[in-house]
Structure 1
């Protein structure tokens, strides 16, 4: 009996251990799945470009533009279509005039069905349309004896050609490829804008983290200074004003710590949302990497910006559209005609087997035209309006191009100075940290008063914040330059993204 109880207890303990280990394993896996880890700036940018809502929206916009361009390309290729009428039924009474002039009424019952298969090809240089078609029609007449009549068009070649008219397809062939190219450039720019936004918020979070750590450090140090001040006050070595000043500094540091923690949580949650994560995940940021040495040639940057930037390409698109509007106004103001020509074969028979024997010619040619004679100067006014709009667009684009080039020059010249400013800020941060350590040691041995110590502490915190802001400005300027030129000067290659 005792052995049985022992084995039973051992069994229960074994189950409990397995349950405990399994539960903690699941909890550990859950915590691990919610722990993103420590991320560098480049890792944050890659994550945002892969999974953020902004990046996904940019991909959908590019895919939409891709399908629009493929729709235009389909207009340049042959199209196959099938048309016809399902068997219809018609029973009616109609009037019939006999040879002697007498009018009688007769009854008629019939059905008719037809089908036609055609291939159509738009002609890009002329704006016309070429077609090949074949068709079949069956007519059924019902009475005392049912009769079926067949008609076939084995092959019909058709041409519809506008003469002296606006060729919309030709102009679309100029604008649609450019629109798609602009959409592709805009997608790359969106990715670089995401990188720039992530960079800004990365340093906002990192600065908030530094402010929180500084506030925690200051609370600990100010608490120690307050304890030291109390001892010195008790022995009469400092006045009550210095004691109160150290206590006030401690309370202010505690208040700043609370504010810094709240601000850090706020910017960190905003950053998580930007990266595409829920706010309950845990992540931390690595210290920003060292500043790379990047050389940028201003002339090359301007050339790349004019070739790659979507804004520069939009200038060319606006110019083409203005030229298109002028060409359309001119064509609509003059003589216009349309040539329609068909040639083919047809045959009819009561027997389906005879439909394709000895087919007869089927052909016709028509020319429709329109000549404006008098419209109170409306067409001339439309042409003049389009011509002046073209000049307006040309001058406006010339001004915008100059502004754009000036922006590129300013961005490059500013970026070339940012690295030097960041290095100076790093040196100032190092000096301020060292000065605070010296001031603290001098205060402990009574060489300086508490006011000078707190001044050194404020300068220490300000120098660290200025350094982080200088890093933020450098990396933001770097990604701004990349977005303007769509070129990676660090690796000397164009910027491309898969979608």
Structure 2
């Protein structure tokens, strides 16, 4: 169901060379593609996307090649002799080395598993000028923290939520761009209408003044009424000048936001219809808690607080297991360096357990738990505020449709009353005070109608931004994020 709304403009504005009519829907489309706010929202989404891609890449195997080609040394090095004394010997050699490694994080334990292969070459440039090769065909290394916090496991919990929050924030930011557009659009529309009203009032005031001068010459009205009508003409000219200045300011504001050329004279078109929907608070709240970035933000902050507690507890006992198994060989020739491989095995367990730290680490656990309690209290309060603000917003929106209908009827009645009073004044049945009052009421009714129309659209898109739901089509607001990011 669509409720039709119409408003008659006042006097026609002057036509300019680059005059352009623009509807609210057109302004919204332009803002979502060209405005600075839309560009900022897109860049924030891209940042979040690549942060998430980086997190995902950290879970995959990583291959690295490290090489030294070459390392030349010609210097004296200290050397301890059999009698315990030191002397310096000349060292002149050329070294080259290369190592290929594949590293894989183990998310369920928090450790790192590495597969390595290396080859080293050493050639003496003095003396017998011998050369030597050393190979490690394969070595498997495990680095595993014991009792500590599993950072990878916590990242797997937190980072997807963070990215989901960023995607929801982008959609909400897009809706907020729409809200800003609505604000600027209706500011321009109201300024345009005020100019039309002021021109119509000036035209009417001039006509009434001419009629009053004729009546005064015939003694039908007082000098006071004539002077009052003359003042009305001056006031109408002053009001028109002020409104034209405001119109230029509002025009520049909207053009700047939409990134349009400054030589375009925008002619805003009053929306002909509004979506007629009646919202249920429980339904709106359910959609908001499901889709809005606020829900993801609450979940992420709770997880981060839990992570800090787990990290503090893990730091109470620091034990790291390091183990390596592999083979190595050495020879003077490259083609035999992989023969007769010797067993190369390393098993190392290192730990550092605080025996007496005066409660420092347990104190950190207490601090982390206290901080988590603070976060949980804040989250509960923010959730209550969010629900309350949403309830008020839904009530305001549901009430706004009736307010808009009332404003529409009042605008028509005030316009009709003013026209009637003008005719009545022409035959001398009412005073200038009554005429001025009807003009004031007419102007106020027209302005209120536009303001109520603006409030309706503002409430509607504010609820859309919070729920990420299109209540007109009854569908969710989503986007192809991969396509958007690759634009």
TM, length-normalised to structure 1: 0.90
Name the residue aligned to 1:50.
33
Supply the distance in 1 between the matched residues of 2:346 and 2:253 (Cα, whole angstroms).
72
Question: Contact conserved, 1:192 with 1:483, CA < 8 A, in 2?
Answer: yes
Q: Deviations over 1:1-34 (max 9, x none)?
A: xxxxxxxxxxxxxxxxxxxxxxxxxxxxxx99x8
Alpha-carbon separation, structure 1, partners of 2:86 and 2:157: 64
Q: Indicate yes or no: 2:440 matched with 1:458.
A: yes
Shift in alpha-carbon separation, 1:216–1:95, aligned structure 2, 3 A:
closer
Q: State the SS of the aligned residue for 1:279.
A: coil
1:291, 1:419 within 8 Å by CA — same for their partners in 2? Answer: no
Of stretches 420-429 and 64-73 in structure 1, the one that deviates more from structure 2 is: 64-73
Distance 1:116 1:308, change over 3 A: same
Q: Deviations over 1:291-334 (max 9, x none)?
A: 2211222111101111121122211111111111111111112x
Deviation at 1:497, TM superposition (A): 4.1
Q: Give the aligned partner of residue 22 of structure 2.
A: 39
Moved more, 295-304 or 156-165: 295-304
Specify the SS of the correspondent of 2:275: coil
Match of 1:467 among 449, 455, 471: 449
- Distance across 1 between alignment mates of 2:146 and 2:291: 38
Q: How far does residue 288 in structure 1 lie from its aligned partner after superposition?
A: 1.8
Alignment of 1:281-360 (within 5 A): 281-333=264-316, 335-360=317-342
Match of 2:343 in 1: 361
1:396-435 equivalences under 5 Å are: 396-435=378-417
Distance in structure 1 (CA, Å) of the matches to 2:206 and 2:74: 107
Give secondary structure in 2 for the equivalent of 1:291. strand
Which SS does the other structure have where 1:365 is aligned?
strand
Q: Any conservation in 2 of the 1:208–1:263 contact (CA below 8 Å)?
A: yes
Unaligned runs of 5+ in 1: 1-30
| C-alpha spacing 1:423/1:97, structure 2 compared with 1 (3 Å) | closer
Where does the alignment leave 5 or more consecutive residues of structure 2 unmatched?
1-14
Mapping of residues 55-454 of structure 1, within 5 Å: 55-93=38-76, 107-333=90-316, 335-454=317-436
1:465–1:395 CA distance, 2 compared to 1 (3 A): same
Whether the 8 Å contact between 2:19 and 2:264 is mirrored in structure 1 is: yes
CA distance in 1, matches of 2:309, 2:259: 48
The answer to whether the 8 A contact 2:147-2:318 is kept is yes
More helix by share: 1
CA contact (8 A) 1:118 1:134 kept: yes
Q: Which residue of 2 aligns with 1:8?
A: none
Distance 1:315 1:361, change over 3 A: same
- Alpha-carbon separation, structure 2, partners of 1:453 and 1:110: 108
Using the alignment, how far apart are the partners of 1:133 and 1:103 within structure 2? 37
Higher RCO (CA 8 Å, separation ≥ 6 residues): 2
Give the superposition deviation at 1:480.
Answer: 0.7
1:145-175: CA deviation from partner (whole Å, max 9, x where unpaired): 3211111111111111111112112111111
Question: Mean alpha-carbon deviation: is it higher for 362-371 or for 286-295?
Answer: 286-295
Preserved CA contact (<8 Å) 1:295 1:489: no
Q: In structure 2, the residue corresponding to 1:295 is in which secondary structure?
A: coil
Question: Does structure 1 conserve the Cα–Cα contact (< 8 Å) formed by 2:20 and 2:264?
Answer: no
For 1:386 and 1:466, how far apart are their aligned partners in 2?
Answer: 54
For the residue of structure 1 that corresponds to 2:116, the secondary structure is: strand
Q: Name the count of aligned residue pairs.
A: 467
Superposed CA offset, 1:349-405 (max 9, x none): 111111222322211100001111011111221111111221221122112111111
CA distance in 1, matches of 2:433, 2:392: 43
Counterpart in the other structure of 2:464: 482
Structure label with greater radius of gyration: 1
Alpha-carbon spacing, 1:98–1:207, altered in 2? closer, same or farther (3 Å): closer
What is the Cα deviation at residue 348 of structure 1? 0.9
d(CA) in 1 for partners of 2:190, 2:82: 106
Give the whole-Å Cα distance in 1 for the aligned partners of 2:408 and 2:443: 13
- Give the 3 Å change call, closer, same or farther, for CA 486–263 of structure 1 in structure 2: same
Q: CA deviation at 1:103?
A: 8.4
What is residue 5 of structure 2 aligned with on the other side?
none
| Contact in 2 for aligned 1:117/1:134 (Cα 8 Å) | yes
Range with greater deviation from structure 2 (236-245 or 275-284): 275-284
Taking the aligned partners of 1:316 and 1:52, their CA distance within structure 2 comes to 31
